[in-house]
Structure 1
Amino acid sequence: MTNLQDLGLAYRKAKVDLYYSSHASLDDIANYEENLHSNLSLLQEKINGEDEAWVTSPEFIGTWTLVTKSVEMDCWAKYKKENGGGLIFSSPIDEWQHALKALAEKEVPEKPKAEFRIMARCSLDFHVLSTLWMLEVGQLFDARLSECAYGNRLRRTQDGKGINKLSLGSFQPYLKPFRDWRDKGIAAMRAALDADKKIVALTADVSSFYHELNPGFMLNPSFRKEILGIKLNRRKKKLHRLFIHALQAWAAATPLKKGLPVGLPASAIVANMALVELDRCIEHQVAPIYYGRYVDDILLVMENGAGFDSTLDLWEWLFDRSNEMLGWVDQSKKQVRFRPAYLSKGRSKSRVRFANGKNKVFILAGEPGKTLADAIAHQIYERASEWRAMPRLPRSATHVGTDLLAATQSDGEAADNLRNADALTMRRAGFAIKLRDFEAYERDLLPEAWAAHRRAFFRAFTQHVLVLPQFFDLAVYLPRVIRLATACEDFADLRRIIEALQRLCQQVQEQCDISVKAWHEKKSKPNATEMLDRWKGQLFSSVRESITAAFPPRLSKAGKQAWKTYMADCHPVIDLDAFLSWPLSVKSFQAQQARLFSLDLAHLPFRFIGLPKEMVAQRGIPAKKTIVGCDKAAELLSSAVFEGAQTVTQWIGFKQLPQGLPFATRPFNLPELFILNRHAYLEATQDDMRAVVLSVRGFELGEKTPLFDKNNVLQVPDGVTPRKCSIAVSSWQTSLDSWTASVMRMPDPDAERYVRLCRLLDGVIAQPRDSRYLILPELALPAHWFIRIARKLQGRGISLVTGIEYLHASKSRVRNQVWAALSHDGLGFPSLMIYRQDKQRPALHEEQELQRLAGLEMKPDKAWKTPPIIQHGDFRFTMLICSELTNIRYRADLRGKVDALFVPEWNPDTETFNALVESAALDIHAYIIQCNDRQYGDSRIRAPYKDSWKRDVLRVKGGVTDYCVIGEIDVQALRQFQSSHRSPAKPFKPVPDGFNDAMDHRRKILPLGE
């Protein structure tokens, strides 16, 4: 029997899967979740009942909609080839009109063809049932796939044996499997070429894969038992039957009368299983150097022993080894079909074809082969570098349009894989990178700080993307652009975007022929009016939901006026449903936004309401009183989820469990959980921490969690630290005006500060010599920039140590803290932990200025008497903030305990500190890493070397731009030197008197013999 908690967990996963799909309806999710207990109870009754016909009802299967695929301009390309194509237009609108006119004047008039694809809009009940099927039955099928199938694999437990029921979302994140599939293929090619082998590489993909598959084969007993060896008990057989019958009923209700529902995540499991015999055939009968399949894309690398010299030769060689599963579709030999027995009969009959036009065969040998493989690898690295980079906008708003045009045009792009130079994929990637940069600015800066760039972006978007044929390629990004405009109160631009969309819909209707992907050739053409009505309904529903999700809970004065001027009378008349569902007032939009926010469906994640206010912009966060509580949560959730969620509820100061916490789409990440729990690294809080991580993230914290040991050393496991450690010391300036603004809680007057920071960090990320640490000065960063930057640096294996702008507490108090984002591997995968340390007392001038400017007093959140020590991997260090270095007690306490001391500073008195740093290096006998504000300089790494000329490993001062210098410290050499009873002659100065008595025995290693 299926119980309510099974369905609660299934809904929890289904919600995340659906939220991240391309065309999810936020309203559908919200409406379902507002009566979640009732809806799941009714579904439970149906699943456990005797009747099975309900899965074929229209209410259960839902409906279908249309989304853009492409505008086919083959007729225009042919015309230009015949009549000369030298005419170039700067305006895409002018070029479109010219093309229409030229095609209309031909002897046989033609029109461009607007092609759409059918997408599922299934009921939420269907989504929950299909996710339950994945957890109970689908995972048994998924487990039968070999490792050569990379795409759409289910999330499993760390040992890989069972399904992870508590993780949010059903599937592994797509990016790493995709990169593994591609990169392993290229690495296999390179390795074979290095071994002087002649190789052949084949890439191919299935045409209209989902639309041509019928799921009936999944009910075939011989497929399940004989081919896959899966046995199902009575309950699972019933669940399997219900799910497959629902898929078949959905297909029967669409115009295609076939196919899998695109947009239902569980379809991916069925699609993967359809090709299971193809995988086995190639792996066992062909025995290639490499074979990998990512959904319907295959990459095959094998030795060219047979001396292939054409694509036909290669395919026919494969046919001979495929047990008749592969063959030509017909005598023209233009398409290859895959037809195993289980896809050939009755309701299972499916059409799986590799179109030869899309297939490519590479015959590689010797140096030219290596050159090609290297060129492909280089293109991949270049594109990956763009994604790794910090957000960056053009220096001048006038260049935004140029940038966007360059990112979205298809000419001159290189391919990043072995397939045809896929211009569309590259164009989308180029646009996605630009849009990501604008979204980062929206999160990190106030709207007024970068308004000119944004206006230029929306203008360019309207001129170059909201036009035919370009829009059909980039339509998937429209909701994100609308959210950006709404969140920043750019209502004039929002109105222009909506009007451009209305014009575009009119153009498609009047100027294009309409087609639907995978439409049966023998059937009459699709009804253009019906198809366009469905598409426009979906399009403007998405527009409305995007505006609602991002609508500011509190409009500024200028925002209120802009809404009144440009949007108050905006009611797109597409159909009656769209008109009636469009909110009529600002308050109506804000109420809807608060509702979506409560359910973690809004533009800003729900978790932001629980983070410290300095860490996230408050613009999109509604009042706490609007937050909806989660009724009957204990009945819907397992105790593992419920108890952890209750603990987080207490941490973030809510009395009742909010709905957006246990049913989150974007849950707290690990660094944020370390911030929420002030005592995260104490032994006493570990049970709570384990319960929370299991509930929120779906995995168990192991024994290697960062923790203070009995000697009060924070242990952060991070593998074996290399003998030498590179440290990037920044020369970064925060202006006095920015400092004053942070004290006064006013907007930062330095508009260039964020741009300068991104440029500085890009320099660190791009360095060929990887740094292990980056240090920035005291008070260098606003807290809400920290996690984004730390995670970017983590991608390059760099840990961050930086001073954070004053954190304002109650009763006119502020904190001055240094934060360290440290990489760690104690969870079985690369992760990031955040440690925060308070400056215990203000410097004299700092104390005076805080009082003079704002009547503030600096008090630590956590007091300590002995400087806390961190062991990161094998590397031991501590941090002191500026004037704390003058405390002789702190320096004495550190003697023999650390390898290095990090000192972020904002210090004009460099002469005094020069003597302190030089002295500390010798009496603590450690590396001193001092990072001062660029205005004053003297940032350095000081070492206790015997030779005086070696002691400044690096030292920088002055300059008008921000920069980083990388220095290297030899931790092992220092420890070997200090581990001798009597100091050796070199390379360091002898340890000071009494050092051996203070030396921590856990730092001792085998000394060098002389």
Structure 2
Amino acid sequence: MYTLEEVKIAYYKLKNYVYYDNTELLLREKLIEFETDTKKDDSNLFSWIISKPYSSSNDFKNIFDTKQNTIEQNLEIKFAKLLDEINSNNLKSEYFYYLFSQIRVDFFPKKIKSTENPLDKNFISNVKCKENYEVEKVNPFINAPLEFHIISIMWIIRSGYKFDAELLDQCKGNRLLLNKERTDLIQNSSLFKPYYSQYQSWRDDSVSVAQELLKNKKNALFINLDIKNYFNSTNLNFDKYFPKDDFVNNILRMLHKIYTHKIISEYDIIDKKNNNLNESFLLPIGLLSSYIIANHYLNDLDKIIIKKIKPAYYGRYVDDILIVISDPKESIEQIEKYNGYKINHINYLKTENKEEQNLEKIKLSKIEKYIIENLDPIFQIIVNGKERKIKIDQYENLYCQQEKTLMYYFDFNESDIVIDKLKQELNYRSSEFKDLPDNNENLGEFDKNALYLNYTDSDGKIRTLKDYKENRFGLTVYLTNKILGASKHKKSVSDSEINSFLKIFNGQNTIEFYKLWEKIFTYLLVNDKPSEYIDFYFQCIQEINKIQFKNTKIKSNRVKNTLINYLDSAHELALSLNLNFIDSDTEIKRSFEFKSNSIESNLIEFFFNRITRSNSIWALRYRKSNMMRHQYISIPLLNYTKESYDGKISLINYNVNLEKYNIDEDLLKNSPRSVKFWEYTISKLITDINCQEYKKENSKISICDFTSENENHFLDQSFERFKIANRNHKPNYLFEDKIDNYRDKFYKIGDTNNNLTNISVNSKKQDKLLKPKISVANTKVNSKNVLDGLRQKTNVTNLRYQNLVDFLKSTRKNKSDIVIFPEYFIPLELLSSLVRYSVKNESLVISGLEHITINNRAYNFVATILPVNINGYKDATIVFRLKNHYAPIEEELIIGNHIQIPNPKVQRYHIFNWKNIYFSVFYCFELTNILHRSLLKAKIDLLVAVEYNKDVNYFSNLVESVSRDLHCYVAQVNSSDYGDTRITQPTKTYNKDIIKVKGGENNVTLTGTIEIDKLREFQRKKYNITKNDKSFKALPPDFDIEEVLKRINNK
């Protein structure tokens, strides 16, 4: 018997997988349909209706009725129904009969037939448009109801993980996340190890091994083999993977039988004679259980290669094999002598029709000879007339693709510059998808990244240009970085750049690059190009309609329908970021409607595949299920608000009215991903500001602090919201304090006395950082930006964003542990970029925020971003603090703009303990309060002062005095037009400044190192010992040694 909990776990693992997937848009649409009951078929073209297997229930609610926000309630009913049907053990039930009848196969174009005449090989043209495109090869994907995808993961949870546990580490692709003992899946919503790290390891490690061989004066043979049509060439035994003793197995047996029948008989994709429908099955691409079985099917091959060949490196990524052999058996010189030993190698050849073959006359290529000498009999050369095949021994239908088999032979006596260059290229590719897209690097590089130019000579002359090819990777990099860049600031690309880009995606390229459609739509949407958006959409339809597929049972319409559905899913997913994108311009809206109506009337493919309009329920359904691309959202968790759920706001607009930022609890509960704690702290800040009530002007408030009602801290309240959204993504025991206080791993609130609160983050005794490198930003805080932020007109231009990127690139290069920016430096809209940097690089970041003006009150916060690493899980705790003392000139600016100043009920300061660094953060004017700064005496190693202050002389003297009085390091960061940014220590005048800069126009990052352990060692000694020690000034009177020992002992 299965349980409801297993169904839910399987579903949320599926949803998490689909959310992070970038290419399987039709599976994403299946999930959206399952959650929202908005399938595009003849029964549901214009309104919401419960899907057929559940139509007998009266308990479902219309989620598009704003009074009935009940996606979770509807899911519970479906989960219960699915569980009942599974536990009924009846494959012939009406429920399963309907689901099995809905199994289809989608066909994506894999290769378009070339129409070039061999006689015209020296004729090169950039014309891509043709009258028609004949598809030569297709990739079949299973199109099955989502219930089967849930069931496939239930199989993985119960049985499939055991097959993964048997795999070797050399198998890299689609590996499950198992516990250390490999006895179960880990308890969270993730299913597979991250693609990018697994693929990068598989690829880069092979090159590193080859490099190491050459350094050790050994020759290296690098072999790349690709198994042909792997998923449709398997011959798998049902009983091995799906024994009949479990009903889930029986469901999957039936599903595979139906799919295999369609592939072999209905569509005639592969040879029938090599497949027994009664005893074996094929693997449906797109079903997650297939990826586990596909790995295990080749497990014996992995073992025998390692055992028999003993390669220096072996790795397999699904059906792609990399082998590095040390000192291969034959050298280049010996290969040239093969004619004299022909018979010896011919004996190794195999033939499918030996009587008709004269093997003595066969000449072998260098690749074939190397395979015979180094890989036979595991890989065998099969001869069939003029055709050569690379057969995998013991696997009936598995062959390697001859045209994709590559070998690289490196002699250690020769130059190794090629492999060094390859390594550099791989490192470059690994870093191209940046967390901080740099417009200075990417602007103007589109033409460079768009094409490969293939020359016959190295001089690069026109007469030596042999051919050119669009660079898929370069285009992907360009799109990704442009989208991320545009989503972080208000810059639009130029019309000329847009036009140059779209010309690439014309004609045949439109079809061949179909996987980039969503990125292209998003690129045009975030850059506010609605006219180009709809032109590209209908251009895609025109090109799809030219597809032909001959000499097969697969009709052209099958491929066309697949691509049209994929196109509309890409359009719908991009449009979900801004539902008003097309409708905002009356002329463009009219043009879109006219073209849509014309297409739907004239193309049969659109009879039941209506084009998604922005005002339809289909466009809104991505908002309901929250399955849009969250990385493009302008404000953290904006897509979790009620306004987003109702489709009322743009999710990429920085000029969002934060007064209408209201978190929807149901969206939190049904989150498709694990949400970071730092996102909740920012979200809680916004909601808390909105909730502030003022009984009278200048009344005092409690915000980002302890609440007056129940004394819960701001961080505790944020953590409660964090728990709600992660209930389906993290194991429940993490949030049970009795077992393991998970909260303490993010932060721990210690003693709170009057104005002082102690907060520990990442403060394990073994995680000491006693010589941190501190980077301070010497940058001008633009007074216009300050005024615009105060007036709710935040300036998020390309220049401002680029300044941030430049600073962070510099601190990353310097490997800074602590990064500090001045007061007013960063607007709330860019704060998430700063936090992501902090999390990824595990650097402490401190910055003043631009005023947040809500309900006519201007809030001045300083943000302390404290990164955490919990067993490899990276996150951050953000502590916001409202300014305690406003300088007179700031008060005049705020009040003079008819805005009120919010004053804290308790004038709070924090003592942080991060990696055993005890520090506190003050604003400049707060330093003038002698009583407040005296609270820190002997308790801190570092005082951080964020400033925007003209009175440089006064505060310069004050900082030096504070450094001596508190006997600590002081990092002061001011706007560069005022200057005096510095890191000061309590020493004699001649060496008191580790860093000091007067100012200047250039934005620069200055880095210095402080020696905390040395300072503490000095402080723990009495004057009679330190009087001759000139490292630091003498301790001030009444300096508490107990506080010093607490810091030393990390208490």
Alignment TM-score, normalising by the size of structure 2: 0.77
User: Are 2:521 and 2:571, in contact at CA under 8 Å, matched by a contact in 1?
Assistant: no
C-alpha distance in 2 between matches for 1:272 and 1:44: 29
C-alpha distance in 1 between matches for 2:612 and 2:400: 50
Partner of 1:578: 606
Partner of 1:695: 727
Asked if 1:281 is matched to 2:282, the reply is no
C-alpha distance in 2 between matches for 1:56 and 1:329: 45
The within-5 A match list for 1:381-396 is 381-388=427-434, 390-393=436-439
List per-residue Cα deviations over 1:384-439 (Å, max 9, x = no partner). 333236223369xxx96x533322212379xxxxxxxxx99993332222222332
Partner of 2:289: 266
List per-residue Cα deviations over 1:749-783 (Å, max 9, x = no partner). 85632233233333333x2x311122111111111
Partner of 1:724: 771
Partner of 1:905: 947
Check 1:863–1:327 CA distance in 2 against 1; reply closer, same or farther (3 A cut).
Answer: farther
C-alpha distance in 1 between matches for 2:487 and 2:29: 24
Q: 1:593 aligns with which of 619, 630, 641?
A: 619
User: Are 1:200 and 1:301, in contact at CA under 8 Å, matched by a contact in 2?
Assistant: yes
Q: 1:464 aligns with which of 504, 510, 515?
A: 504
Aligned AA (1:854)? H
CA displacement at 1:118 relative to structure 2? 2.3
Secondary structure of the 1:728 match is: strand
Aligned AA (1:979)? R
Q: 2:407 aligns with which of 344, 361, 366?
A: 361
List per-residue Cα deviations over 1:582-612 (Å, max 9, x = no partner). 36865x33x443332121124558999984x
C-alpha distance in 2 between matches for 1:569 and 1:161: 56
Secondary structure of the 1:903 match is: strand
C-alpha distance in 1 between matches for 2:97 and 2:634: 41
Check 1:460–1:683 CA distance in 2 against 1; reply closer, same or farther (3 A cut).
Answer: closer
Q: 1:49 aligns with which of 88, 93, 113?
A: 88
Q: 1:542 aligns with which of 557, 569, 585?
A: 569
List per-residue Cα deviations over 1:9-60 (Å, max 9, x = no partner). 2222223333425233355333322353444444334322343367687745
Partner of 2:224: 203
Partner of 1:814: 858
Check 1:490–1:291 CA distance in 2 against 1; reply closer, same or farther (3 A cut).
Answer: same
Partner of 1:124: 146
Secondary structure of the 2:174 match is: coil
Asked if 1:967 is matched to 2:968, the reply is no
Check 1:333–1:115 CA distance in 2 against 1; reply closer, same or farther (3 A cut).
Answer: closer
Check 1:16–1:491 CA distance in 2 against 1; reply closer, same or farther (3 A cut).
Answer: same
CA displacement at 1:726 relative to structure 2? 1.6
C-alpha distance in 2 between matches for 1:143 and 1:839: 55
Check 1:1005–1:63 CA distance in 2 against 1; reply closer, same or farther (3 A cut).
Answer: closer
The within-5 A match list for 1:456-605 is 456-468=496-508, 470-486=509-525, 490-506=529-545, 508-509=546-547, 514=549, 524-525=551-552, 529-546=556-573, 548-552=575-579, 559-560=585-586, 562-564=588-590, 567=593, 569-571=595-597, 572-573=599-600, 575-576=603-604, 578=606, 581-582=609-610, 588-589=615-616, 591-602=617-628
Asked if 1:854 is matched to 2:866, the reply is no
CA displacement at 1:676 relative to structure 2? 4.8
C-alpha distance in 1 between matches for 2:582 and 2:963: 54
Aligned AA (1:594)? L
Secondary structure of the 1:724 match is: coil
C-alpha distance in 2 between matches for 1:407 and 1:145: 38
C-alpha distance in 2 between matches for 1:353 and 1:689: 53
Check 1:626–1:899 CA distance in 2 against 1; reply closer, same or farther (3 A cut).
Answer: closer
Secondary structure of the 2:380 match is: strand
Partner of 2:269: 256
Check 1:564–1:694 CA distance in 2 against 1; reply closer, same or farther (3 A cut).
Answer: closer
Q: 2:30 aligns with which of 28, 40, 56?
A: 28
Identity of aligned residues (%): 18
C-alpha distance in 1 between matches for 2:961 and 2:243: 73
Q: 2:203 aligns with which of 182, 194, 198?
A: 182
List per-residue Cα deviations over 1:347-403 (Å, max 9, x = no partner). xxxx322224323333345475754443333222222333236223369xxx96x53
CA displacement at 1:824 relative to structure 2? 2.0
User: Are 1:455 and 1:493, in contact at CA under 8 Å, matched by a contact in 2?
Assistant: no
Larger gyration radius, structure 1 or structure 2 = 2
CA displacement at 1:710 relative to structure 2? 3.5
Asked if 1:743 is matched to 2:790, the reply is yes
Q: 1:668 aligns with which of 665, 675, 684?
A: 675
C-alpha distance in 2 between matches for 1:583 and 1:688: 41
Asked if 1:292 is matched to 2:315, the reply is yes
Secondary structure of the 1:673 match is: helix
Asked if 1:944 is matched to 2:986, the reply is yes
C-alpha distance in 1 between matches for 2:844 and 2:1015: 22
C-alpha distance in 2 between matches for 1:992 and 1:653: 51
Asked if 1:68 is matched to 2:109, the reply is yes
C-alpha distance in 2 between matches for 1:681 and 1:378: 49
The within-5 A match list for 1:751-762 is 752-762=799-809
User: Are 1:391 and 1:440, in contact at CA under 8 Å, matched by a contact in 2?
Assistant: yes
User: Are 1:944 and 1:951, in contact at CA under 8 Å, matched by a contact in 2?
Assistant: yes
C-alpha distance in 2 between matches for 1:624 and 1:537: 25
Aligned AA (2:25)? A
Alignment TM-score, normalising by the size of structure 1: 0.80
Check 1:269–1:439 CA distance in 2 against 1; reply closer, same or farther (3 A cut).
Answer: same
CA displacement at 1:154 relative to structure 2? 1.6
List per-residue Cα deviations over 1:879-938 (Å, max 9, x = no partner). 112222222223322222222122221111111111111222222222211111222222
Unpaired stretches in structure 1, ≥5 consecutive residues: 102-109, 225-229, 345-350, 414-422, 516-523, 628-651
CA displacement at 1:244 relative to structure 2? 4.5
Partner of 1:107: none
C-alpha distance in 2 between matches for 1:824 and 1:250: 51
User: Are 1:198 and 1:365, in contact at CA under 8 Å, matched by a contact in 2?
Assistant: yes
List per-residue Cα deviations over 1:479-517 (Å, max 9, x = no partner). 2322443466532112221232234235x44xxx647xx
Partner of 1:637: none
The within-5 A match list for 1:207-218 is 207-214=228-235, 216-217=236-237
CA displacement at 1:745 relative to structure 2? 0.9
Check 1:942–1:282 CA distance in 2 against 1; reply closer, same or farther (3 A cut).
Answer: same
Check 1:326–1:543 CA distance in 2 against 1; reply closer, same or farther (3 A cut).
Answer: closer
Q: CA RMSD in A?
A: 3.9
Check 1:166–1:858 CA distance in 2 against 1; reply closer, same or farther (3 A cut).
Answer: same
List per-residue Cα deviations over 1:260-317 (Å, max 9, x = no partner). 3222232211211121111111233333333222222222234216455454454334
Aligned AA (1:710)? G
User: Are 1:544 and 1:582, in contact at CA under 8 Å, matched by a contact in 2?
Assistant: no
Partner of 1:647: none
Secondary structure of the 1:710 match is: strand
C-alpha distance in 2 between matches for 1:604 and 1:46: 35
Partner of 1:417: none
Check 1:995–1:968 CA distance in 2 against 1; reply closer, same or farther (3 A cut).
Answer: same
User: Are 2:86 and 2:247, in contact at CA under 8 Å, matched by a contact in 1?
Assistant: no
Unpaired stretches in structure 2, ≥5 consecutive residues: 37-73, 271-280, 333-365, 456-466, 651-660, 685-703, 707-711, 752-756
Aligned AA (1:316)? I
The within-5 A match list for 1:606-1005 is 611=637, 621-623=644-646, 657-658=665-666, 660-676=667-683, 688=720, 691-692=723-724, 695-699=727-731, 700=734, 703=741, 705-711=745-751, 712-717=757-762, 720-748=767-795, 752-765=799-812, 767=813, 769-810=814-855, 812-860=856-904, 863-865=906-908, 867-946=909-988, 948-982=989-1023, 983=1026, 985-997=1029-1041, 999-1004=1043-1048
User: Are 2:1019 and 2:1044, in contact at CA under 8 Å, matched by a contact in 1?
Assistant: no
User: Are 1:483 and 1:603, in contact at CA under 8 Å, matched by a contact in 2?
Assistant: no
Aligned AA (2:541)? Q
Range with bigger deviation, 666-675 or 147-156: 666-675
Secondary structure of the 2:772 match is: strand
